[in-house]
């Protein structure tokens, strides 16, 4: 049987509407892939759940799903393939991996078990790096949180965030105190310069198209025309480019830097640490400072192959307008003000709504329980728009 025929039959059997196109080429590689799959054994799942600090109820649900999965050859075949893609071939994050339409425990927790199947490799990698086991457990607490979130939302154990969590299980993200840090490449929209006195200037990447409001042309699904396209010219004497203002919006008027005093310290794709904030309650300013300090110590020691030049954050939290609506001494504004802001591709307010209301809401009936919920609505009612943005802190300060 050819690889595609077997894959097509499996898709039909499992009710999968679509699989990633790349699987047509890689499917036959895993036909004979015979990695040890202890995750099919519920007693192994119980021990792994305990090792990573999962709550007992979640571990039991995963164990039940594993028992069921072990009786379903089609799902086992799919699991071998997913495991190989994630942990052996290390293909890109599976944001678009198919969700199983079935409703049994094995269907709902299939991706969670695929992730857990990577635990032995992750544990070996972390120990080889000398990473303390409490950091491994803290990092995987996000897995526990997402499982619990699904249970709370749908009344059943399951997992939606497998693409995101594949970063944790593939040794790309670490929870260091309040914040998470991910090894990543710098955003393609910005070039960063620094002068002899340590002053920093962010300049728009050449060729980036901007709207009149200072956002990239792709913001809000491109609902405004392109106002200008950024240029960046550099010679022995002058660097001429378009800077971003305090709110992270581009200025059409270029600035000129003295090339003898300013040097480029970050280009698109250079190694950075992307900062993420989990929903573990408030993000106290002192706790954030401690996390950044911990990252400066941790990465050179444990992940030396990633000589990051900056911390970056792409988030609704990097919307400079928040600083006009929320108190300057609040956690959100203090966090925002640590960064130099810049615009990102495809910026819109979707994430604001997701993180503040749990999804899209009608403004007339949106909950108004917190200050942030109130200002989100007030700004929109006043004719404003919220947009996600990017932020950057150079490693040296
Ligand atoms: C990021 C986060 C930790 C900030 O919370 P915080 O430390 O409480 O922030 P602040 O103290 O500045 O909050 C100011 C006000 O906004 C409210 N607020 C903060 N985050 C809120 C949220 N996600 N939803 C609703 N209200 C929120 C606070 O309750 C406070 O209002 P109050 O005084 O009426 O209680 C929080 O928003 C959160 O957990 N978000 C989910 C995770 C997330 O968005 N991560 C970034 C992903 S890109």
Report the CATH number at residue 329.
3.40.630.120
Taking only the tens place, the pLDDT of each residue in 95-151 is: 667 888 889 999 999 999 999 999 999 999 999 999 999 999 999 999 999 999 999
Is residue 132 located within the same domain as residue 260?
A: no
Is residue 252 located within the same domain as residue 367?
A: no
Is the CB of 282 within 6 Å of ligand 1?
Answer: yes
Task: Answer whether residue 12 shows pLDDT above 70.
Answer: yes
What would the mean pLDDT of 65-77 be, rounded to a whole number?
A: 94
What would the mean pLDDT of 387-392 be, rounded to a whole number?
A: 98
What would the mean pLDDT of 154-179 be, rounded to a whole number?
A: 95
Residue 350 CA to ligand 1 center (angstroms) comes to 16
Is residue 140 located within the same domain as residue 281?
A: no
Report how many domains make up the chain.
3
Distance (Å, rounded) from C-alpha 162 to C-alpha 96? 10
Taking only the tens place, the pLDDT of each residue in 181-191 is: 999 999 999 99
Q: How many percent of the chain have pLDDT more than 90?
A: 85
Ligand 1 atom closest to Cα of 279? 39
Residue appearing with tokens 């249970």: 151
End residue of a domain, out of 210, 243, 266: 266
What would the mean pLDDT of 156-174 be, rounded to a whole number?
A: 94
Is residue 17 located within the same domain as residue 153?
A: yes
Is the CB of 372 within 6 Å of ligand 1?
Answer: yes
Is residue 285 located within the same domain as residue 245?
A: no
Residue 14 CA to ligand 1 center (angstroms) comes to 40
More confident residue, 37 or 311: 311
Q: How confident is the model at residue 372 (pLDDT cuts 50, 70, 90)?
A: very high
Task: Answer whether residue 289 shows pLDDT above 70.
Answer: yes
Q: Phi then psi for 310, rounded to 5 degrees?
A: -160, 165
Residue 282 CA to ligand 1 center (angstroms) comes to 6
Is the CB of 374 within 6 Å of ligand 1?
Answer: no
Spatial neighbors of 275 by CB under 8 A, at least 6 apart, are 179, 180, 181, 182, 311, 312, 313
Is the CB of 330 within 6 Å of ligand 1?
Answer: yes
Give the pLDDT score at 19: 85
Is residue 7 located within the same domain as residue 150?
A: yes
Task: Answer whether residue 1 shows pLDDT above 60.
Answer: no
Its domain, for residue 238, covers 190-266
Residue of 246, 86, 243, 251 lying closest to 166 (CA atoms): 86
- Neighbour count for residue 305 (Cβ, 10 Å): 7
| Domain annotation covers residue 309 | yes
Is residue 212 located within the same domain as residue 260?
A: yes
Mean of pLDDT over the chain: 94
Task: Answer whether residue 30 shows pLDDT above 90.
Answer: no
**pTM, to two decimals:** 0.95
What would the mean pLDDT of 57-66 be, rounded to a whole number?
A: 97
What would the mean pLDDT of 332-356 be, rounded to a whole number?
A: 97
Strands 271-277 and 310-315 turn out to be parallel
Task: Please check whether residue 373 is in contact with residue 367, taking contact to mean a CB–CB distance below 8 angstroms.
Answer: yes
Taking only the tens place, the pLDDT of each residue in 258-281 is: 999 999 999 999 999 999 999 989
Ligand 1 atom closest to Cα of 334? 12
Is residue 209 located within the same domain as residue 358?
A: no
Give the pLDDT score at 43: 96
Q: How many percent of the chain have pLDDT more than 70?
A: 97
Is residue 117 located within the same domain as residue 221?
A: no
Ligand 1 atom closest to Cα of 331? 12
Q: How confident is the model at residue 2 (pLDDT cuts 50, 70, 90)?
A: low
Residue 63 CA to ligand 1 center (angstroms) comes to 35
What would the mean pLDDT of 41-57 be, rounded to a whole number?
A: 96
Give the pLDDT score at 26: 87
Give the pLDDT score at 56: 96
Is residue 140 located within the same domain as residue 213?
A: no
Is the CB of 315 within 6 Å of ligand 1?
Answer: yes
Distance (Å, rounded) from C-alpha 21 to C-alpha 86? 16
Is residue 259 located within the same domain as residue 277?
A: no
> Which residue has the CA at smallest separation from atom 38 of ligand 1?
279
DSSP state of 47: H
| Domain annotation covers residue 115 | yes
Give the pLDDT score at 25: 86
Task: Please check whether residue 179 is in contact with residue 288, taking contact to mean a CB–CB distance below 8 angstroms.
Answer: yes
């Amino acid at each position: 049987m050819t690889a595609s025929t077997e894959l097509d039959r499996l898709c039909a059997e499992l009710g999968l509407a679509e699989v990633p196109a790349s699987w047509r080429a890689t499917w036959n590689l895993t036909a004979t892939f015979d990695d040890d799959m202890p995750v099919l054994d519920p007693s192994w799942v119980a021990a792994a759940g305990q090792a990573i600090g999962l709550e007992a109820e979640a571990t039991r649900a995963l164990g039940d799903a594993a028992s069921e999965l072990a009786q379903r050859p089609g799902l086992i075949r799919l699991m071998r393939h997913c495991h190989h893609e994630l942990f052996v071939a290390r293909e890109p994050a599976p944001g678009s991996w198919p969700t199983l339409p079935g409703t049994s425990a094995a269907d709902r927790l299939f991706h969670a078990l695929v992730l857990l199947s990577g635990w032995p490799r992750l544990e070996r990698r972390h120990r080889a790096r000398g990473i303390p086991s409490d950091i491994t457990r803290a990092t995987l607490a996000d897995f526990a949180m997402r499982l619990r979130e699904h249970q709370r939302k749908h009344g059943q154990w399951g997992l939606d965030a497998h693409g995101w969590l594949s970063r944790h299980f593939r040794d790309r993200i670490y929870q260091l105190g309040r914040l998470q840090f991910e090894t990543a490449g710098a955003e393609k929209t910005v070039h960063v310069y620094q002068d002899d006195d340590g002053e920093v200037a962010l300049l728009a990447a050449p060729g980036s198209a901007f709207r009149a409001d200072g956002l990239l042309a792709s913001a809000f699904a491109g609902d405004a025309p392109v106002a200008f396209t950024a240029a960046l010219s550099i010679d022995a004497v002058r660097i001429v480019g378009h800077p971003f203002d305090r709110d992270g919006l581009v200025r059409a008027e270029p600035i000129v830097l003295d090339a003898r005093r300013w040097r480029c310290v970050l280009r698109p794709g250079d190694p950075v640490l992307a900062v993420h904030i989990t929903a573990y309650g408030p993000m106290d300013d002192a706790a954030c400072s401690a996390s950044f300090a911990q990252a400066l110590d941790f990465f050179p020691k444990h992940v030396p192959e990633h000589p990051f030049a900056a911390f970056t954050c792409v988030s609704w939290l990097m919307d400079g307008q928040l600083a006009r609506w929320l108190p300057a001494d609040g956690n959100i504004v203090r966090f925002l003000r640590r960064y130099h802001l810049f615009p990102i591709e495809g910026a819109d307010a979707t994430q604001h709504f997701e993180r503040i209301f749990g999804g899209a809401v009608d403004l007339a009936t949106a909950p108004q329980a917190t200050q942030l919920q109130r200002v989100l609505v007030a700004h929109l009612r006043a004719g404003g728009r919220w947009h996600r943005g990017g932020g950057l802190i150079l490693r040296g300060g």
